[in-house]
Copies of this chain bind each other. A is one copy, B any other.
Amino acid sequence: MVTLAEVARRAKVTGATVSNVLRNPQKVKPETVERVMAAIRELGYRPNLTARALARGRTSTLALMLSNIANPFYPEFVLAAEREARKRGYFLLVCNTDDDPAITRAYLEQIAGSLASGIIVMNTDLGEGELTDVANRGVAVVLCMWEHVQPSRTLPCVTIDFAAAGALAATHLSGLGHRKFGALVGAGSGGPQTIRLDGFARALAAHGHSEKSLTVVHAHDSLESGYEATMGLLHRKPALTAIFATNDLMAIGAMQAAADLGKRVPDDLSVVGLTDIVLAHQFRPALTTVRLPTAEIAARSIALALEMVEGGTSTQDLYVVRAPELIVRESTGPAPSRRRRA
């Protein structure tokens, strides 16, 4: 391994100067810079990032804690996050927790042991206390897309207005003349997505619908779970004409269930999702959904973490990214004429 010392020797300077050439070339005489660069090239020198991290007191690594990257939302998020991190010279560690607190804790231990200098936590079964501990050890902790009613009092949080997202879906469906609604509420991790539901329910009420017009059913963040939940829901409430799912995967499962029950989407049943994953527009019928600014949230979270890392500061602010947006596609339509069913 070629070290900085060898480069120094060859360029007839000391290590300090080589180090400066690499990081503040303007502080070094141009000719010296030239000589050092030449030596670096000739020797094929690459700075040892581990040594650098040790000397500087921080690594160029950020960790991303998520429950399971196989959920299609995450790859989209990771892609954007990685790009932002790379732009700023950082690397991304993917930490799949499988929603297992033991795994999550193990990761936190390592990260607290200076594996990464910052960490984006997308969800977790852990209490806020354990995360605060890590933050107190000097790691930049950023909560991302947290859905608790009460945002953290000690950790910064990047999120979007989930209630508004739910409301968008409700207004759309209500505007199409629907009267009997079903809601599929996911609970991938970090508890049920109740804020999304609340936003939906509240907007329904605002549009004059009674509480009885909405039937809620709980599920998990998967296509299969959305399918099962919808089968049960439509069995119990065959008169439903509109379903809101708190995420797209469940919405797609709902459409498949409808198809299997002989219901046409959107003629017999309208379905609206939430997230706008890539599959949403690829699926047939294309899913009407509320788009979350995924890439923007990812980039913002990384940027915030890096600000904290590099500024050595901490914050507990709440950052709410751009509002969600309704994307109307093929899965929603006017409520079927009421004559068709009792």
Contact = CB atoms under 8 A, between A and B. Distances in A.
B79 A75 contact: no
B82 A78 contact: no
A256 B284 contact: yes
A35 to B, nearest CB: 21
A259 B282 contact: no
A83 B96 contact: yes
A241 interface: no
Interface residues of A, number: 49
Give this chain's copy count: 2
B59 A68 contact: no
A95 B78 CA distance: 10
Given A1-B138, A79-B70, A279-B279, A93 B93 contact: yes
Contacts of A25: none
A109 interface: yes
A94 B82 contact: yes
Interface of A: 1, 46-51, 53-54, 59-61, 68-70, 72, 74-76, 78-79, 82-83, 86, 91-96, 103, 106, 109-110, 112-115, 137-138, 223-224, 252, 256, 259, 278-279, 282, 284
Given A48-B113, A75-B75, A91-B110, 7 more contacts: A46-B109, A47-B113, A49-B115, A50-B54, A79-B96, A86-B96, A91-B93
12 contacts: A46-B109, A46-B137, A47-B113, A50-B54, A51-B54, A54-B54, A68-B79, A70-B76, A70-B79, A72-B72, A74-B75, A86-B106
